[in-house]
Amino acid sequence: MNLTGKTALVTGSTSGIGLAYAKALAGQGANVVINGFGDAAAIEAERQGLEALSGARALYSGHDLTKVDEIEAMMKAAADAFGGIDVLVNNAGVQHVAPVEEFPVDKWNLIIALNLTSAFHTTRLAVPYMKQKKWGRIIQTASAHSLVASPFKSAYVTAKHGLAGFTKTIALELATFGVTANCISPGYVWTPLVENQIPDTMKARNMTREQVINDVLLAGQPTKQFVTAEQVAQVALFLCSDAAAQITGANISVDGGWTAG
Ligand code: NAD
């Protein structure tokens, strides 16, 4: 696939699945905008590595996507640099694990703002460029939790179910403009997001680390293996191809069979 001349913006791409998307898209020649937090020197090294993959440009945005004005600034910076966005990957997300009656209000607000509302803002700001070009790809990292629930993840499951509904809606709105919108729904992928929820899950369920990995994380994943970030990124590349032009409004599971049961 050749994405030369196209621009992809991937939210939450300084780490994990987002970074894998950025590498896959840059590897096909796209300019990429990466976003997220982390060590400045490490991010700069990743940015340069992305440019080295194909010679296309890579821009870093450190904007905080829980804030509307920062999302607007990121989208403006991308449009100023590249004249618009062709592939929008809404991927930034955080998790918090707690029983609903103890769920911290600030964590609820953070998860809804980042995992759900930021995708509305990036989409509304990217769509005019896509409509103009009669081509676009909107890809959400949803989750198996956009299809089924798990206890103690009320905010996350709510946000991901919302993201799935949002995606179906915009798929219908954009269907005649050459713009597709789809969810990719991974099961457990071994990334910092998963690693960081182990201590809270140990506390919430009174389990050891090994019990959380085997009896909670991989319990529902019939293959008994973690998904890799690269496997998720390859699905996104396929969605960018002409072969996927008629796939829109779909929610594609990459979950080792989790949601089949
Ligand atoms: P990760 O923690 O490795 O990456 C999250 C990224 O989001 C990082 O780049 C981080 O800096 C960025 N980020 C965090 N807060 C931000 C903010 N306020 N503004 C901008 N960027 C911010 O996590 P991951 O596992 O790669 O998760 C990526 C996406 O995949 C999330 O939406 C997550 O819900 C989803 N997902 C992950 C799994 C999994 O098992 N890891 C499974 C299903 C879905």
- The domains of the chain, with CATH numbers, are 7-188+227-260 (3.40.50.720), 190-225 (no CATH)
Residue 193: what pLDDT?
79
Which atom of ligand 1 lies at the shortest distance from residue 92's CA?
Answer: 7
How many angstroms does the Cα of residue 176 sit away from the middle of ligand 1? Answer: 31
For residue 155, pLDDT over 90 is answered with yes
Pocket of ligand 1 (CB under 6 A): 12-18, 35-38, 64-66, 91-94, 114-115, 141, 143, 186, 188-189, 191-194
61-71 residue pLDDT tens: 999 999 999 99
How many angstroms does the Cα of residue 132 sit away from the middle of ligand 1? Answer: 30
For residue 53, pLDDT over 90 is answered with yes
Sorted by sequence, the CB contacts under 8 Å of residue 52 that are 6+ apart come out as: none
How many angstroms does the Cα of residue 15 sit away from the middle of ligand 1? Answer: 7
Arithmetic mean of pLDDT over the chain: 97
Residue 62: what pLDDT?
98
91-132 residue pLDDT tens: 999 999 999 999 999 999 999 999 999 999 999 999 999 999
Residue 1: what pLDDT?
81
CA distance 200 to 145: 18
* CA-closest residue to ligand 1 atom 39: 189
Active site (annotated) includes residue 129: no
CA dihedral 160, 68, 34, 7 (to 10 degrees): 90
CA dihedral 8, 9, 13, 14 (to 10 degrees): 100
Residue 227: what pLDDT?
96
11-48 residue pLDDT tens: 999 999 999 999 999 999 999 999 999 999 999 999 99
